[in-house]
Chain A
Amino acid sequence: MTSPVTQSLERIPDQLGYLVIHEDGAVIASSGELENDEKTAGIIMNMVHMASRVQLSPDRNDPFKRLSVVFDTYMFVITISNHKVYVCKRKYLPSEPINA
């Protein structure tokens, strides 16, 4: 399935794969390392449902914009748009030095 959105997901710099999940949990589109990765999709949907319950601002209708799950060398960036959850796996290249 190629739509303008999935085409632009392909062009995200350092992307390793993406998932488009319907809000009922069904995987609509996938590619790269996340191709047909239903397990990851399920885990991410749980995290999204959990995160959407967290009230970040006084306005209840102001949910998170982007959810980042960061690992050592890669990360998942997740956002919601039009009843679909967009997940992109990207290479994680820390640009700033770690000042512990």
Chain B
Amino acid sequence: MGCCFGKDEDEYSGEQEPDERSPLLGNQIGNAINRPVTSDDFESQPSITKGDEQSALNRILHQTENNVIDVSALDSHTMEQHEYMDRARHYSTRLAIVGGNLRTMRKPVLPIGTTVPQAVLAGEPISIADIQLINSAAATAANALSNVKVQHKEELVVHFVIP
């Protein structure tokens, strides 16, 4: 038994239905990585310098072999048609849950606007009276906002009287 996020190895080792979280690379490569580190790994290093060139080259070859991932050798999991459908349905339901948030993140589209932009732009400039009205309204609003204060009327810490 593992804890909530305990990535138990045996979780994927069995004949489990592969999903989007199952590792693409199977154990045939994994054993090279999972191989327990033995003392050989460290002790053999100086031997390379001692001159046995052939064994050094073999070692390099072996290491390279371990590092190469032969994709063609992996048994590829071919998906059946119904599996595609199942996944498509699963993903679309998940997307529907989070989809609302995704839509709001997009930049809002512009309104259609006018059909005669040149006429709108060529129109009379805004009147000074209107500018003054907006300026005074904005100044009043800014003034009101700056005067918003929190008034402490009650004690921040309330002592409950337990009878």
A interface residue numbers (CB < 8 A to B): 5, 8-9, 11-13, 18, 23, 48-49, 52-53, 61, 63, 65-66, 68, 70, 75, 77, 79-86, 88, 90, 92-94, 96, 98-100
Stretch touching chain A among B15-23, B24-32, B118-126:
B118-126
Q: Say whether B131 contacts A52, CB under 8 Å.
A: no
| Nearest CB in chain B: distance from A68 CB, A | 5
| Nearest CB in chain B: distance from A46 CB, A | 11
Chain B contacts with A in 110-163, Cβ cutoff 8 A: 110-118, 120-123, 125-129, 131-132
Q: Can you name the residue of chain A whose Cβ is closest to the Cβ of B121?
A: A88
B residues less than 8 Å from A11 (CB atoms): 118, 122
Say what secondary structure dominates the interface of chain B: loop
B interface residue numbers (CB < 8 A to A): 107-118, 120-123, 125-129, 131-132
A residues less than 8 Å from B108 (CB atoms): 49, 52-53
Q: Say whether A98 contacts B128, CB under 8 Å.
A: yes
Q: Say whether A96 contacts B128, CB under 8 Å.
A: yes
Say what secondary structure dominates the interface of chain A: mixed
A residues less than 8 Å from B126 (CB atoms): 68, 70
| 14 chain-A/chain-B pairs, Cβ below 8 angstroms | A8-B118, A12-B122, A18-B121, A23-B109, A49-B108, A53-B108, A65-B113, A68-B126, A70-B131, A77-B121, A79-B114, A80-B110, A82-B112, A84-B117
